[in-house]
Every structure is written in C-alpha cells, then in structure tokens.
Structure 1
Amino acid sequence: MSVLYLLSPGGNVHKNGGRLVIEKDEKLVGRMPIRSLTSVVVGPAANISTPVIFACLENDIPIFFLNKKWQLFGQLANEHASLAIIRQQFACLEDPVIAMPLAKIVVDEKIRNQYRLLKSYSRTVQNPLLNKVLKTLKEERAKINEAESANSLRGIEGTCAKCYFSGFGTLLDNRTWHFKGRTRPATDPANALLNFGYAFLEREVRIATIGLRLDPRIGFLHSNNDRKDSLVFDLMELFRQPVIDRFVLNLLRLQTYKPRDFEKDDEGTCRLTNEARTLWYQKYEGYMEKPYQEYKDLSPRQFIQKRIEDFRRKLLTEPL
C-alpha cells in the first residue's frame, strides 16, 4: 500500500480503468492501481479529475487537500473511518501510560542523532569543546528513563539542544560563518540555513502525517493547542539532525554557499538572497530524492515517510 503525493505545479491525475495515470506538464510520470493506494495528498497547484475522486471514495481512499503553506485545507473521506482513527489516536496520546514512553523514545532518538552527527566529525575536528559536548549529551541521555513528566523531558531536550549547537559550531569555520549558537530569527548565515531547512522539514513531516491519516493536531510531547500542529512538531524531532543538519553542514563545509549569498533586512534578520534560494531548491530536491546508505538505501524523503509509518503502526496497532 502507498500514498500518492500530487504536489508539483502541473501535476495531474486521471483514471484509466482500474488505474490512476499520473502526469506532469502533460508527460507521463507513472500508473498506479487504485486499490494499491492508502491515500492521496493534493497540493494547491495540482489537478485531480472527478472520476478519480469518485473511484477513491468508492474504495475508501481518503483525499487530502493542502493549502499554499502545506497545511491541511480539507479532505474527502469515509468520515466514520477517519473519526475512528482520530478517536484512537486521541485516546492513545492522551493516556500518559502510552504518551510518556512515546515522548521518551522521541527525545532519546533526537539526542542519539545529535551525538552521532557530532561524533562522525570528531576524528577530523580536533576541538576540546566537541569532546566535552559529546560527554554531556551522553550523560543527559542517560537521564531520560528517570524522567517522570513531559516537562522534565523537555528540560533534558533543551539542555541537550543548547549543548549540541555549541558543538555544531566547532564543525564550521567561524572566521567565515560566525556561528554562536541557535537564534530565531536568524542573525547569521548558518542559522538562516537551519531555519529555512526546518521549514522544509515541517512540510515533509506534515505531508507524510496527513497522508497516513493521522491528525497532525494531536501530539504527545509538545503542547496540544490551536496554534500549532503538535504531532508534526513532535515527529520533526526525529529528523532534524540526520536530515536537515546533515544537509546544512555539507552545504557550508563544501562551500556551496558563500557569505555573499546572504543578506539582512532592516530588523537584522539574516536570510538567503533570491539566487541563493533557487540554488537551495535544486540542491535540496536532489538530496531528498537520492538514496543513502545512512538511511538503509532509502532517500531522506523515503526515510521520513517510513519512520512515520512505523510510528503510526506502533501507535494504532493496525496494518497500514
């Protein structure tokens, strides 16, 4: 079973017998049996035909429509099935017996990812601070099992984040990039790239979450409120270091970008120039679609989708 993502401008899907025909700019991209689909996710610049909509509803395949911010705008689905999943998700994530272990898994994996990324550079970067950071991350991670609340977990997470980014700075040539730690909004090029990358990661996680029929609002680590989709931000923690930080480090260390590729607005916020953003789109898509050994020969995009599939299976204890 699979999710059909119809997100690119010029993307189009129509029905031919029992198959969907996917095209982009009037060129054939591929064909999929309708019954092989789990769901369809449609972006604001793509087209889906009425026969496809009918066929999906007949086969209990939900269709999710996203707005220009890649947020859920609306859906067509079997409402009874959708409501059942939401109820199950809410019941699980509101139960501390289930939610707390999930939160511990996410924080543990995030800190492990921080440690692994920094450790992978420790042989080539000779800096006493890096060794100190690695030691602290290891010590803080050991405290996770003893944490008794989400607040205590967030405290461990916050301590490790500050520590991690001090180590992150040792991997950069500070004569060029002047990275002094995380800032939001960005005050330097490295932070501008990280912030930009996390915005793209939010889109990737949001799309995968919606495509798997999970409600992005109901989370277990970040607070559940109307201002943000908590589950999206919870699951993003699994991918910040192995996907985005890794990508940003490569861009900076390989000198793909230069200081001239950044500019500051009147309020001092650092951001990519228009030309630099175009280069980002090219590099990012190439990176997200390429298989890597680190992800068990999956692309970063496939890695994100599979990891969220695993989470859904564990959470709902039902086959995808």
Structure 2
Amino acid sequence: MRSLYVSQQGCYLHLRHEMVVIKRGETILDEVQLPLLEQILIFGKSQITTQVIRTCLQRDIPIAYLSRMGYCYGRILPIERGYRYLSRYQQQLSATERLIVAREIVQAKLRNSRVILLRQQRRRSSEITALAIQSLEYLVSQAAQANTVEKLMGLEGAGAASYFSAFGECLTGAGFTFMGRSRRPPGNPVNAMLSFGYQVLWNHILSLIELQGLDPYHACLHQGSERHAALASDLVEEFRAPIIDSLVLYLVNKMVMNPNEDFDYHNGGCYLNDIGRKKLLRAFLQRMEEKHKTEHGDDQPRWDLLTQQIKAFKQFVYSPALGYKPYLIR
C-alpha cells in the first residue's frame, strides 16, 4: 500500500479510471493505482476533484489537508473511521509495556545522535566530538537498564546535552556559531533552525498519527495532557537527528542559509524571518520527497519512513508482545 504526499504547490488531482493522476499545469507528476492507495496528504495549495474525494470515501482512503509546516487543517474520511477504536487499546497498555517501548525510543534517539557525530568525526576530527560519542555510547547502555520513565528522561536529557556540546564542532559555515541548545527563546540562528525544524517535523508526525487512528494523547515516554499530544513527542525523538539535525548541518555547511539575511532578533531571541522559513521549508520538503528503498525493495519518498514507524507503533498497540522497534540510522 502506498501513501501519496503532494507537497509541490499548485497541483491538481483527478481520477482516470482506476488511477489518481497528479498534474501540475500540463505536466503529469505521478499516477497511483487506487487499489494500492492507503492515504493522501496534501501540503499547501493544491486541488483535488470531487470524483477523487468520493471514490476515496467509498474505498476507505483518508485525505488530509495540511499547511506546508505540517499543521493539519482537517481530514476527509468515512464516518466509521472517525471513532477512536485504538484509544482503549492504548489505555490498556501496562506500565511495563510502556516502559519497554520508552527504553527503545530513548536508546534510538541516543544511537542516532551518536551516528550523526561519528559521520562528522570522520570528516573533521575533534576531541570534543570524540568525548560526546563515548558519552552517548555509555548512556545507551544505561538506558537499556533504566527501570523508570523518570530515569529515562534524565538519561535522554544528559544525552542531548552531550550531543549538542559537540554539535557546534560539526558546523563549518561562516557566521554560524553554536555553544549549546537554547529553545525558549532560541539564542542564535542554529538554535532557531533546530527549533523550527523540530516543530515542523512534530506537526507532520501528529498528522500521520491522527490518520492512523491512534490517540495522540496516550504515549509511553512523555506525559500527555489536553495541550500536549505526547505520542507525537515520543515518535519524533528517533527522527530528530537523522532528519532535522542532518538538514541543519547541510544548510549551514553548504552555506544555503545566510546568518545576516535569514534571521530576525526580537523578544530576546533569534528567529527565522520569512525568507529563512521559506528556505528551510523548501529544503525540508525536498529532502522528504527524496526516494529511499523500503524493506520490500520499493522506492518510496522519505515521508514513508514516518508512516511506517507510526504503523509499527500501531501494531505494537494491537499486539504489545511484538514490541516496537524505532528507526535507526547506520
């Protein structure tokens, strides 16, 4: 089954026999067979015909409308898909089952952060980076033995501090300095890009969680509340380093971003301005559209990585004994 992600602007989706056709102007960008289609996500300004909508409703194919930042404006789905069947299964997960998954999530975040530093260390050796790599390796082993969520959160925080202490060593773009993570508010251009990128990624993951019918407020690592969709915060962790951190490194080191033109300073912090946001969003969407090989040998956009992990978590909810394996880079 295939998810269709329409992130280019000005597209037009129409039906031709058993195919959904995606056009931009007179150019056909893609065609997807309806029997193979699982869901449609439209980012920004594109149009879809009534015939496509009606057919998707008949075949139980949800359609989501999102901003380019990933905010979900709403969904079109059959009435029977609108009820949260999965919520009660999530609520029935035992504390032990949640803890085991929380361990996996924290270990995956630490491992992926370590791999990013290892890659940079091979390109530009640094004693600070080497120490951070050792620290992360130790914290992974500790996370595997943690017996409470509170302990895991402490190890995750220690890992983030160690990782970001070396992140500045990986930056070579002129005018960009980074001494550590600052969030509220972001203290410099690198922190501004990280914060913005994490929020965009979090929004997209939340939308995909909703499309899979999971309750975003019941999680394993983070504590949910009326204002905090904790499951999105859980599942974003394994993707921070491989998607956002690596993208920021690319944008800085390839001098795509300009520290003087793409940022504004106000309210005691540094933020992307309109030009900077457009640059980062364009780069993010391009990266997510890049093809990768799935375990079945198919070429799918990187978006599919997010969907597959959320589906894996959904499978865990139905069958906790199977566990959950986060996304790892090598």
State the TM bucket, normalised to the shorter chain. 0.7 to 0.9
Deviation at 1:190, TM superposition (A): 1.1
Would you say 1:305 and 2:304 are equivalent positions?
Answer: no
Match of 2:274 in 1: 274
Using the alignment, how far apart are the partners of 2:246 and 2:68 within structure 1? 27
What amino acid sits opposite 1:308 in the alignment? I
Match of 1:21 in 2: 21
Instruction: Report 1:87-166 matches (<5 A).
Output: 87=87, 89-91=89-91, 94-166=93-165
Deviation at 1:313, TM superposition (A): 3.2
Alpha carbons of 1:52 and 1:258: their partners in 2 closer, same or farther (altered >3 Å)? closer
Range moving further from structure 2, 104-113 or 71-80: 71-80
Give the secondary structure class of the aligned counterpart of 1:20: strand
Q: Which of 1 and 2 has higher RCO (CA within 8 Å, sep 6+)? A: 2
Match of 2:41 in 1: 41
Alpha carbons of 1:167 and 1:275: their partners in 2 closer, same or farther (altered >3 Å)? same
Unmatched 5+ stretches in structure 1: none
Count of residues in Structure 1 that have an aligned counterpart in Structure 2: 317
What amino acid sits opposite 2:256 in the alignment? T
Deviation at 1:298, TM superposition (A): 6.1
Instruction: Report 1:204-215 matches (<5 A).
Output: 204-215=204-215
Using the alignment, how far apart are the partners of 1:26 and 1:209 within structure 2? 34
Deviation at 1:6, TM superposition (A): 4.3
> Quick check: 1:243–1:300 contact (8 Å CA) kept in 2?
no
Give the secondary structure class of the aligned counterpart of 1:39: strand
Query: What do residues 46-87 of structure 1 show as CA deviations (whole Å, max 9, x unaligned)?
Result: 333333333223223333444686444444434445536423
What amino acid sits opposite 2:122 in the alignment? R
Using the alignment, how far apart are the partners of 2:199 and 2:123 within structure 1? 30
Give the secondary structure class of the aligned counterpart of 1:55: helix
Match of 1:315 in 2: 317
Range moving further from structure 2, 73-82 or 200-209: 73-82
Deviation at 1:194, TM superposition (A): 1.0
Using the alignment, how far apart are the partners of 1:245 and 1:11 within structure 2? 30
Deviation at 1:230, TM superposition (A): 1.4
Unmatched 5+ stretches in structure 2: 321-330
Alpha carbons of 1:291 and 1:77: their partners in 2 closer, same or farther (altered >3 Å)? closer
Deviation at 1:160, TM superposition (A): 0.8
Using the alignment, how far apart are the partners of 2:116 and 2:186 within structure 1? 22
Give the secondary structure class of the aligned counterpart of 1:122: helix
Match of 2:251 in 1: 251
Using the alignment, how far apart are the partners of 2:220 and 2:63 within structure 1? 26
Give the secondary structure class of the aligned counterpart of 2:225: coil
Give the secondary structure class of the aligned counterpart of 2:3: strand
Q: CA RMSD in A?
A: 3.1
Would you say 1:261 and 2:261 are equivalent positions?
Answer: yes
Range moving further from structure 2, 215-224 or 23-32: 23-32
Give the secondary structure class of the aligned counterpart of 1:133: helix
> Quick check: 1:15–1:52 contact (8 Å CA) kept in 2?
yes
Give the secondary structure class of the aligned counterpart of 2:234: helix
Deviation at 1:8, TM superposition (A): 4.7
Using the alignment, how far apart are the partners of 1:101 and 1:224 within structure 2? 18
Range moving further from structure 2, 265-274 or 172-181: 172-181
Using the alignment, how far apart are the partners of 1:212 and 1:179 within structure 2? 38
> Quick check: 1:263–1:271 contact (8 Å CA) kept in 2?
yes
Deviation at 1:103, TM superposition (A): 1.0
